[in-house]
């Protein structure tokens, strides 16, 4: 599989947003309510993707000139790591995470945090992230969106 990671460009915005929604639609319904899925999609709207890309470092993973993954680092916060469902379980998410962690270290950040959906916790755990807290967002009507705050010390010290 000949893939490469490059920095996000504004022209990638629509493709990245579509990728995120595809992952949410494919992977989240078994874990989250319809209200939570709507919240995720609203949170990952165009404006937020672009804002984080401008404030931080957003990358895309390409395979055969198609974007199949993305991830963002804003200061010490890793966000928006998604890989197209048909390419998951192939080490591509790990590639994205390693690139973001390397960038964090280059920026002098030795401790990174992220918010993990319930279904991604095992992925992050395998990369050395530890659960700091289980928390939730109240969506109203007795519905909530549960997630984990996770953290990792970088640099091996």
Q: Residue 128: pLDDT band by 50, 70, 90 thresholds?
A: very high
Cβ-contact 150, 121 below 8 angstroms: yes
Token digits for 39? 């919240």
With a threshold of 0.75, does the pTM exceed it?
yes
Residue from 114, 125, 121 nearest 150 by CA? 114
> The tokens of 135 are what?
């928390």
Q: In the structure, what pLDDT confidence band is assigned to residue 148 with cuts at 50, 70 and 90?
A: very high
Checking 9-17 for CB contacts under 8 A at 24+ apart, the result is: 10/50, 10/53, 12/60, 12/67, 13/46, 13/49, 13/50, 14/46, 15/67, 16/49, 16/58, 16/60, 16/67, 16/70, 17/44, 17/45, 17/46, 17/49
Q: Give the model's pLDDT for residue 157.
A: 52
Average pLDDT of the residues in 86-105: 96
Element at 96 (helix H, strand E): helix 92-106
Which domains are present in the chain?
3-153 (3.40.630.30)
Please, what is the angle between helix 46-55 and helix 13-27, to 10°?
A: 120
Per DSSP, the residues of 23-72 read: HHHHHSTTTS-HHHHHHHHHHT-HHHHHHHHHHSEEEEEEETTEEEEEEE
Give the tokens for residue 117: 């959906």
pLDDT average, residue stretch 83-107: 96
């Amino acid at each position: 599989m000949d893939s490469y990671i490059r920095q996000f460009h504004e022209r990638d915005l629509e493709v990245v947003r579509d990728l995120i929604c595809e992952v949410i639609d494919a992977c989240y319904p078994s874990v989250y309510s319809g209200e939570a899925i709507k919240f995720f999609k609203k949170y990952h709207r165009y404006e937020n993707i672009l804002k984080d890309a401008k404030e931080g470092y957003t990358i895309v993973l390409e395979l055969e000139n198609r974007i199949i993954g993305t991830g963002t680092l804003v200061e010490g916060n890793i966000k928006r790591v998604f890989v197209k469902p048909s390419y998951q379980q192939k080490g591509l998410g790990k590639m994205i995470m390693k690139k973001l962690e390397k960038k964090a270290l280059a920026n002098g950040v030795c401790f990174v945090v992220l918010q993990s959906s319930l279904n991604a916790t095992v992925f992050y755990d395998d990369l050395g992230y530890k659960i700091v807290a289980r928390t939730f967002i109240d969506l109203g009507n007795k519905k909530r969106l549960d997630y984990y705050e996770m953290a990792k010390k970088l640099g091996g010290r």
